[in-house]
A and B are shown apart, each in its own frame.
Chain A
Amino acid sequence: MNEQSSLTVLIAEDGATDRLLLARIVREQGHSVITAENGAQAVALFAELRPQLVLLDALMPVMDGFEAARQIKLMAGQALVPIIFLTSLSEEQALVRCLEAGGDDFLPKPYRPVILAAKIKAMDRLRRLQATVLEQRDELARHHGHLLNEQRVAKAVFDQVTHSGCLNAPNIRYLQSPYALFNGDLLLAAFTPTGEMHVLLGDFTGHGLPAAVGAMPLAEVFYGMTAKGYGLAETLREMNAKLKRILPVDMFCCAMMLSLSFERRLAEVWNGGMPDGYLLPAAGGEPQALVSRHLPLGVLAPERFDEHPEVVSLALGDRLFLLSDGVVDTCDQDEQLFGVERLRQVFARNRAPQHLFEDVLQALEDFRGQSRDDVSMLEISVVEPQTLAPPPLVYSDSGQSSPLDWSLSFEFRAQTLKRFNPLPYLLQVLQEIHGLRPQSGALHSVLNELYTNALEHGVLALDSALKRDAQGFAAYYQERSRRLQALQEGYIRLHLQVEPVAGGGRLVIEIEDSGSGFDVGTVLARPVLEQRLCGRGLSLIRRLSRHAEWADGGRRARVEFAWVALA
């Protein structure tokens, strides 16, 4: 801004001599000049020609310089049009009037060309500074508008993905800021084909776009694998591996994932870096904390990742409460954290379960006097499974090439059983049978029960009686995890046979394990409630299939499904 720019200068002065002299001086300095003989002319010329600088005599006929200055400043708006008053006014009062009318400087008579040149230069500097500021402000506003629009579009796309799940299920309540995506907060929920509910509450490091980019791939893996029937462990492993692969080293995602089986009344819980979640018992009493035991997703290499969940038993009416760090990390004016204790007090005081979110928000507001935009909360109630209707599976083929006469045998041995869940693959294959599709939910559940029994009670020889109370329940799953890791031998054999029969078809599933079997008669004679608690789910299998029987001292199960041909 060193070079002197050529300006258009308006000179308003009623004395012809002074006007002529001033115009000459200003022109000599390389500017173009327009002249007015009074204030009214000056205002009119300003409106027409928009000069960049104005030299105004204070006392002029028709309209004086003070009024002209006010009108010119008004027209100039936010742009700076410097006004230099031409005056030999000596009283303080008059100088104050000049400033109040919007004058930026004075030039006394007699005019000194050197002084005037310096003043014009200084005023031009100010004028250009102001213009730059305005330009930058407008550009910022444009960029901001642009950014907001991009966020809106990104959020719309992302909402399409998140809401493809089951966040609208009747037993889920959640609260999430509309800016959650750009705080890195993420909330996903979906049903598996067997009716388990998978839920994930996540929090990416950072804010803004970097925090939002990881959400898409994570959601994709979550929904893709849940829909295919993969369990919590496999899904976590894949999500971790994917984030580790795509995110920079210093980015990760704190996450809490649940797999809820309302049929079997249990939840698998995995918490990596999120604040404690809570199981709020329907019967009242202390909330059970669901503590972070793992590193966040995207930190560890796949071979070091630990996907082992905790398993908690659920009772009808229990509620699971998950929250983001926006809740406990809310600070008051003195940088005190809201903290876990205050949250527990809210739980204790809460009388109306349906108002828990409001109670938490109220407590936060009372604590700090303002709300944060990164508070996410999620609550899932334990309900009867039949009150939830998992969405029907969508098939993209017509079923015309449906295979109808085949059989298939597998033997899964120890090293495979440790880490691999074959059910999604088997279900994929069975979905090719068009006539079975209306029963696919039942088929998934039965296969799941059969496989779980064969693995846990057969190969791992776990005693289902352990699961009689909550402590035993936890012990059971710890033991399951321990034995699975130590597993050296054992097998599960599976035989699927599909054959056409008159008017339809039939599927026979035979499953056999290397365990020592069980006393079928005794287990089947137990009351249904106890059977459910102890987990073998034999009555469920019988209820959902056309025919089920056990042989070989409980080591082998044979289950049949049948269907009628579709038109």
Chain B
Amino acid sequence: MSDQRIDNKVVGELREVMGSQYAELLETFLADCEKRMVQLRDARSPRQLSEAAHSFKGSCSNMGATDLAELCRQLEVRVMEQPAHGIEDLISQIRCEYLEVRPFYVAELERVSPQAARHPV
């Protein structure tokens, strides 16, 4: 699934380079995502929002979640522009996209580490 959303070449490289730590990376990423979703929701200033988007963008691109990274990039830029419009819309797009890709990473985790996947974050 999600051939457009997820860069399989990047994921393949991750599996190879992480080896035994691949499961740990997936867990960390899923936990990171939850944290970022909260940050996006609770941000008190455009700057906080931009920083959260920036960090999220970095890890998404590293994990091969190409579309999610692109949405984060748009948000990072948009919040610093005046007038800031369409922010809410972008945030909800990010949330939807996250929900789209999350199952892929959970499935990956389940495949390499069934115990860990039983308690998804």
Show the binding face of A for B, using Cβ within 8 Å. 14-18, 20-21, 24-25, 28, 57, 59, 88, 109-113
Task: Find out whether the CB atom of B17 lies under 8 angstroms from the CB atom of A88.
Answer: no
In the bound assembly, the distance between CA atoms of A109 and B24 in angstroms comes to: 20
Which residue of A14, A17, A109, A113 has the most chain B CB atoms within 10 A of its CB atom?
Answer: A17
Give per-residue flags for B63-88: 1 if the beta carbon is below 8 A from chain A beta carbons, else 0. 11000000000000000000000000
For chain B, the count of residues having a C-beta within 8 Å of the partner chain is 23
Residue of A nearest to B63 (CB): A17
Task: Find out whether the CB atom of B61 lies under 8 angstroms from the CB atom of A110.
Answer: yes
Task: Find out whether the CB atom of A15 lies under 8 angstroms from the CB atom of B55.
Answer: yes
Chain A neighbourhood of B61, CB < 8 A: 88, 109-110
Within the complex, the shortest CB–CB distance from B89 to chain A, in Å, comes to: 23
Instruction: Say yes or no: is B110 at the interface (Cβ < 8 Å to chain A).
Output: no
Chain B neighbourhood of A21, CB < 8 A: 14, 17-18, 25, 62
In the bound assembly, the distance between CA atoms of A25 and B54 in angstroms comes to: 22
Contact partner of B57 (CB less than 8 A), chosen from A24, A25, A57, A88, is A88
| Interface pairs (22), CB distance under 8 Å | A14-B55, A15-B58, A16-B32, A17-B25, A17-B32, A17-B62, A18-B59, A18-B62, A20-B21, A20-B28, A21-B18, A21-B62, A25-B17, A59-B54, A88-B61, A109-B57, A109-B58, A109-B62, A110-B10, A110-B61, A110-B62, A112-B13
Chain B neighbourhood of A18, CB < 8 A: 58-59, 62
Chain A neighbourhood of B96, CB < 8 A: none
Quick one: given A16-B31, A111-B62, are A24 and B18 in contact (CB under 8 Å)?
A: yes
Give per-residue flags for B1-38: 1 if the beta carbon is below 8 A from chain A beta carbons, else 0. 00000000010011001110100110011011000000
Within the complex, the shortest CB–CB distance from B32 to chain A, in Å, comes to: 5
Task: Find out whether the CB atom of B25 lies under 8 angstroms from the CB atom of A20.
Answer: yes
Name 19 extra pairs, CB < 8 A, besides A110-B10, A112-B13.
A14-B55, A15-B32, A15-B55, A15-B58, A15-B59, A16-B28, A16-B31, A17-B59, A17-B62, A17-B63, A20-B25, A21-B14, A24-B18, A24-B19, A28-B17, A59-B51, A88-B58, A109-B57, A109-B62
In the bound assembly, the distance between CA atoms of A230 and B37 in angstroms comes to: 106
Within the complex, the shortest CB–CB distance from A455 to chain B, in Å, comes to: 104
Chain A neighbourhood of B55, CB < 8 A: 14-15, 59
Within the complex, the shortest CB–CB distance from B102 to chain A, in Å, comes to: 14
Chain A neighbourhood of B64, CB < 8 A: 110
Residue of A nearest to B35 (CB): A16
Chain A neighbourhood of B17, CB < 8 A: 21, 24-25, 28, 113
Chain B neighbourhood of A15, CB < 8 A: 32, 55, 58-59
In the bound assembly, the distance between CA atoms of A458 and B29 in angstroms comes to: 120
Within the complex, the shortest CB–CB distance from B11 to chain A, in Å, comes to: 11
Chain B neighbourhood of A113, CB < 8 A: 13, 17
Chain A neighbourhood of B32, CB < 8 A: 15-17
Chain B neighbourhood of A25, CB < 8 A: 17
Task: Find out whether the CB atom of A24 lies under 8 angstroms from the CB atom of B62.
Answer: no
Chain B neighbourhood of A112, CB < 8 A: 13
Within the complex, the shortest CB–CB distance from B108 to chain A, in Å, comes to: 14
Within the complex, the shortest CB–CB distance from A376 to chain B, in Å, comes to: 73
In the bound assembly, the distance between CA atoms of A88 and B70 in angstroms comes to: 12
Chain B neighbourhood of A14, CB < 8 A: 55
Chain A neighbourhood of B29, CB < 8 A: 17
Within the complex, the shortest CB–CB distance from B5 to chain A, in Å, comes to: 15
Chain A neighbourhood of B59, CB < 8 A: 15, 17-18
Within the complex, the shortest CB–CB distance from A399 to chain B, in Å, comes to: 99
In the bound assembly, the distance between CA atoms of A15 and B31 in angstroms comes to: 11
Contact partner of A20 (CB less than 8 A), chosen from B10, B24, B51, B54, is B24
In the bound assembly, the distance between CA atoms of A110 and B10 in angstroms comes to: 8
Within the complex, the shortest CB–CB distance from B34 to chain A, in Å, comes to: 12
Residue of B nearest to A21 (CB): B62
Quick one: given A14-B55, A18-B58, A18-B59, are A24 and B13 in contact (CB under 8 Å)?
A: no
